[in-house]
Structure 1
Amino acid sequence: MRSTRIALLAAVLIGTAPVGAAPSAADTATRIAAPILAPAQWLASLGEQRLAPGYAALAAQAGQLKARIDAYCQAPDAAGLAAARTAWRTAHTRLRALTPLPFGPALDTRILRRIDFWPTRPPQIEAAIAQYANSPGDTARIGLSARGLPALEYLLFGDAPLADAKRCAYARWMAADLDEALAPLPAAWRNWLASLPTDDDADEGPRLTDGVNILIGSVETLRLKYLDKALGEGRRAEFDAWRSANTRAGLTRYWQSLRAGLLGDGETRGLSDVMLGRGLIRLTAALETRCAAVDQAIDTLPDPLDREAAVPAVTSLIEALGRLQRLLAEDIADALRVSVGFGESDGD
């Protein structure tokens, strides 16, 4: 049903009239065919199909990463280090699939802030290594900038990867801390999904406002934090996951999940389904067009993503994301009567 409706939109609407033009007979038929989707139903679909299983997979992968680091530190060899690095790359890619959709328990627990502090700050990580070696029982004073997956990347892929007992001990603690932080998330997602209304929703307006603002904020985070600032610094080190050569994989997975939040993906419902249920036919077509431009720009990113080769492709992607963000923050927010203020997503 959904694919048929989208095909009709593409055939009838794209490029035929401005966003604000009066609907045609075909538009009206499509509007009637589009069921109303409440914000709670949209969020439930994202949670059930993508976020709850995604956090369960990430929690399981954190356990695998911990086991690989433990094994290497107990008997260091090249194969053990390679296994730990592979486990890290898998965990990072799974994390980036969750980063742009900080809904529900992810927002309530601030889990992304705890496990994904980036850009990495090597001086603070080095200080934490020394502090942990002197006082391994005093971890409360170790800040977020010296924890989480980016800090573990520095230890696994940096100039001295797990080179001595102190670095191994700290890496093992960080992996255990990551595992502990993620362990409650699968149950938290089950409880949150059970709490969503299935009929009348008194909080429909706030839910829609929060959802749209999170998506706008995530477009801004991808555009500014992960791309524009990194490119502006003129140092490859400023790109996410450059040490592990996982930059492009992470950026691609981030966008795929953000796109699912906007347009849906398979069984997942997107913001576009909410819009179609409210008769926003032309705006939905415009959203699809802007997302397609980002798709194309993402596909042209080089791998590895070094600055000299990446400038034209990254610039094109930044511009495509800027156009998408303006559509969301201006036309779509206005049509949905949503007040824009990025709020809680704020780049976590």
Structure 2
Amino acid sequence: MKLRRTLCAAFVAVSALPHAFAQNVAANVALPFYGPPAFMQGVHKQWYGPRSAEFSAHAQALTQGIKAVCQAAPGSESTALAQARETWKDTTLAWEKLVAVAIGPLIERRSLRQIDFMPTRPELIERAIRTAPADARAMERIGTPAKGLPALEWLLWTKPITPASPACRYAQMVVAEVQTEAQALASGFAALAARDWSEDEEAAVAPMSEFVNQWVGGLERLRWANMEKPLRAATTQGGTRKPPAYNRTASGLTAQAWAAEWEGVSALAAFRAGNVPQPGQDLVPIETYLRGRGLNPLASKLADTVRQTDAAMKGLTTAQNDRVLGAGRALSAVKRLAEAEVAPALEVNIGFSDADGD
């Protein structure tokens, strides 16, 4: 994969940009040229660093929430369970935003598989509970389909844990693994955020190319794996269509998870609001990166396509089958534009990562 390396500096007057971009900045401010170092510095410092820290904090709170359920006094079990459920939701939504475009430590550690393997296997969860793993080494022998956030969803909603039960003790082991992985991700992204990418421009080329590939992969994972595939796979029996087997169904979090995932993908794609991003300090979305290189028509096309998808995703629920398919078409339009025009403009070859489908 190759990304164009340009050593010159360039500035584009913001007053010449479309109103949707220019309205958020002063008319006499110039848009700087952005290179791969500025791009990688921005995404790590302003997106992955904060998002991974947020996920880690929620995972820690979830650990305490599960512990509270397991130690709940008679009469307080339902309150503790309700609080743990809300904390699980917060943790999962933070995770969805972080993993929407999986790069760096998320790929290297295969975190999607470790934290969010789906579908979960209830029979394997029940077998693991009977096995009663006592420590981290014992948990290594438990398969990933019986662990992670999906397993905790099953233990909090489908067959809720009760205080001092074997299932509760297993839930504590599962959430401890999630917290450990979350801390490792936060540490990994903090190190990348602290790195001065401007010291070696070539070193930022491959990571940016990986990012663009994973951004396209994130669009497709949301569109197909999480939205369209379950809907299209629902079968008809006796004239009645079975409900789609969407992820997060037990907790009722499916639509919110879609929205969080789209937030992660779109925030990295298009400029939202604020001042002109400064190289080395601010998040530089793909649209803004293109504008900094004078590719305004393509940047505007990307921004418009993202806005159309915003509208398609807004207020979407799992009960709106036609709207789900419409949102899928909107997501597909962003993906096609990315593959056909955005990636070539950046001289990035779109490939396939074996981490995409975990």
Pairing 1:98–2:116 present: no
TM-score, length basis structure 2: 0.82
> Residues 237, 170 of structure 1: CA spacing in aligned structure 2 closer, same or farther, 3 A cutoff?
farther
Pairing 1:249–2:246 present: no
Give the secondary structure class of the aligned counterpart of 1:183.
helix
Give the secondary structure class of the aligned counterpart of 1:198.
helix
Q: CA deviation at 1:313?
A: 0.9
Q: Deviations over 1:138-189 (max 9, x none)?
A: 222111111111110011011x211471211111111111112222333322
Give the secondary structure class of the aligned counterpart of 1:340.
coil
Within 5 Å, give how 1:130-169 maps onto structure 2: 130-132=130-132, 138-158=138-158, 160-163=159-162, 165-169=165-169
Of 342, 345, 348, which residue of structure 2 is paired with 1:332? Answer: 342
Between 1:166-175 and 1:229-238, the stretch displaced more is: 229-238
Is contact 1:217-1:346 (8 Å) kept?
yes
Q: What CA distance in whole angstroms lies between the structure 2 residues aligned with 1:295 and 1:90? A: 22
Give the secondary structure class of the aligned counterpart of 2:99.
coil
Q: What CA distance in whole angstroms lies between the structure 2 residues aligned with 1:236 and 1:41? A: 45
Q: CA deviation at 1:50?
A: 1.9
- What one-letter code is carried by the residue in structure 2 that aligns with 1:289? D
Structure 2 gaps, min length 5: 1-10, 22-26, 235-241, 274-281
Structure 1 gaps, min length 5: 13-29
Q: What CA distance in whole angstroms lies between the structure 1 residues aligned with 2:148 and 2:312? A: 30
Between 1:234-243 and 1:147-156, the stretch displaced more is: 234-243
- What one-letter code is carried by the residue in structure 2 that aligns with 1:314? V
Pairing 1:273–2:280 present: no
Q: Which residue of 2 aligns with 1:54?
A: 51
Within 5 Å, give how 1:168-187 maps onto structure 2: 168-187=168-187
Is contact 1:132-1:139 (8 Å) kept?
no
Within 5 Å, give how 1:1-348 maps onto structure 2: 5=14, 8-10=17-19, 33-75=30-72, 77-132=77-132, 138-158=138-158, 160-163=159-162, 165-234=165-234, 235-236=242-243, 238-266=245-273, 267-302=282-317, 305=318, 309-343=319-353, 345-348=355-358
Is contact 2:45-2:194 (8 Å) kept?
no
Q: Deviations over 1:295-347 (max 9, x none)?
A: 01111412xx2xxx321110000100111100001111122221111325514
Q: What CA distance in whole angstroms lies between the structure 1 residues aligned with 2:94 and 2:56? A: 10
Q: CA deviation at 1:11?
A: 7.0
> Residues 7, 219 of structure 1: CA spacing in aligned structure 2 closer, same or farther, 3 A cutoff?
farther
Between 1:125-134 and 1:281-290, the stretch displaced more is: 125-134
TM-score, length basis structure 1: 0.84
Is contact 1:227-1:318 (8 Å) kept?
yes
Q: Which residue of 2 aligns with 1:21?
A: none
- What one-letter code is carried by the residue in structure 2 that aligns with 1:269? V
Identity of aligned residues (%): 30
Q: CA deviation at 1:112?
A: 2.6
Is contact 1:105-1:188 (8 Å) kept?
yes
Q: What CA distance in whole angstroms lies between the structure 2 residues aligned with 1:137 and 1:341? A: 36
> Residues 129, 299 of structure 1: CA spacing in aligned structure 2 closer, same or farther, 3 A cutoff?
same
Is contact 2:99-2:112 (8 Å) kept?
yes
Give the secondary structure class of the aligned counterpart of 1:34.
strand
Is contact 1:214-1:344 (8 Å) kept?
no
Between 1:179-188 and 1:80-89, the stretch displaced more is: 179-188
Higher relative helix content: 1
Q: What CA distance in whole angstroms lies between the structure 1 residues aligned with 2:204 and 2:88? A: 39
- What one-letter code is carried by the residue in structure 1 that aligns with 2:356? D
Q: What CA distance in whole angstroms lies between the structure 2 residues aligned with 1:180 and 1:11? A: 42
- What one-letter code is carried by the residue in structure 1 that aligns with 2:263? Q
Q: Which residue of 1 aligns with 2:237?
A: none
- What one-letter code is carried by the residue in structure 1 that aligns with 2:50? P
Q: Which residue of 1 aligns with 2:278?
A: none
- What one-letter code is carried by the residue in structure 2 that aligns with 1:282? P
Q: What CA distance in whole angstroms lies between the structure 2 residues aligned with 1:211 and 1:282? A: 22
> Residues 278, 156 of structure 1: CA spacing in aligned structure 2 closer, same or farther, 3 A cutoff?
same
> Residues 49, 265 of structure 1: CA spacing in aligned structure 2 closer, same or farther, 3 A cutoff?
farther
Q: CA deviation at 1:133?
A: 6.2
Is contact 1:236-1:242 (8 Å) kept?
no
Q: CA deviation at 1:284?
A: 0.7
- What one-letter code is carried by the residue in structure 2 that aligns with 1:155? L
Q: What CA distance in whole angstroms lies between the structure 2 residues aligned with 1:5 and 1:346? A: 37
Q: Deviations over 1:210-244 (max 9, x none)?
A: 12101100001001110011112225462121111
Is contact 1:133-1:166 (8 Å) kept?
no
- What one-letter code is carried by the residue in structure 2 that aligns with 1:198? S
Provide the alpha-carbon RMSD of the alignment.
2.7
Q: CA deviation at 1:123?
A: 2.5
Give the secondary structure class of the aligned counterpart of 1:101.
coil
Is contact 2:231-2:244 (8 Å) kept?
no
